[in-house]
C-alpha cells in the first residue's frame, strides 16, 4: 500500500534560516504529491503540489521537487518567517486510491524571532 514518511520533528529555526523538511514515499503507480500546512486551531491548507516526475511545486516561497528516482518530495524555503510556524504534512494520492490522501506524520515547525 501507499505510505509517506516525513523527517522526525519538531524543527526549530531562527527567522531567515533555511528550511528543509524531508519527505519520502512508497506508492504503486504514479502518485501526485502534496504539501499541506496546518496552523493552530485550523484545518489543512494546500501549500503546493506536483503531479509528475521532475515537476516543481512552489507557493509563498516554499518549493518541492518530485523526484521519482529517490521517491522524495522535500519541502524547502530559503528564508523562514515567524508566521511560517505551523505543522507541515506531506501527502500523496494515486489513481488506484482515487482522491484518498495518504499523509505523513506531520512536522511541527517553530520559527523564533
- From the list 101, 31, 40, 96, the residue with the least C-alpha distance to 66 is 31
Q: Which of 27, 31, 33, 36 binds other proteins (CB under 8 A)?
A: 36
What x/- string results for residues 44 through 83 when contact with other proteins is judged by CB under 8 A? xxx--x----------------------------------
Q: How far is the CB of 98 from other proteins (least distance, A)?
A: 5
| β-strand pairing of 107-112 with 11-14 | parallel
Please, what is the Cα angle at 26 between 25 and 30, to 5 degrees?
95
Q: How far is the CB of 103 from other proteins (least distance, A)?
A: 4
Number of residues lying near other proteins (CB under 8 A): 20
Phi first, then psi: give them for residue 3, nearest 5 degrees: -155, 155
Cα within 13 Å of Cα(48), Cβ side: 19
Residue 11 or 17: the one with the smaller Cβ distance to other proteins is 11
The residue to which cell 510556524 is assigned = 85
- Give yes or no for residue 29 binding other proteins (CB under 8 A): no
> Can you give the binding site for other proteins, defined by CB under 8 A?
32, 36, 42-46, 49, 89, 93, 97-106
Amino acid at each position: 500500500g501507499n505510505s509517506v514518511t516525513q523527517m522526525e520533528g519538531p524543527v526549530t529555526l531562527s527567522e531567515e534560516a533555511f528550511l528543509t523538511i524531508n519527505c519520502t514515499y512508497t506508492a504503486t503507480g504514479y502518485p501526485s504529491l502534496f504539501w499541506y500546512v496546518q496552523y493552530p486551531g485550523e484545518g489543512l491548507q494546500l501549500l503546493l503540489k506536483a503531479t509528475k516526475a521532475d515537476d516543481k511545486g512552489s507557493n509563498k516561497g516554499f518549493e518541492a521537487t518530485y523526484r521519482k528516482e529517490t521517491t522524495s518530495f522535500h519541502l524547502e524555503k530559503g528564508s523562514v518567517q515567524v508566521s511560517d510556524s505551523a505543522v507541515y504534512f506531506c501527502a500523496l494520492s494515486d489513481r488506484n486510491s482515487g482522491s484518498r490522501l495518504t499523509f505523513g506524520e506531520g512536522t511541527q515547525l517553530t520559527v523564533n524571532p
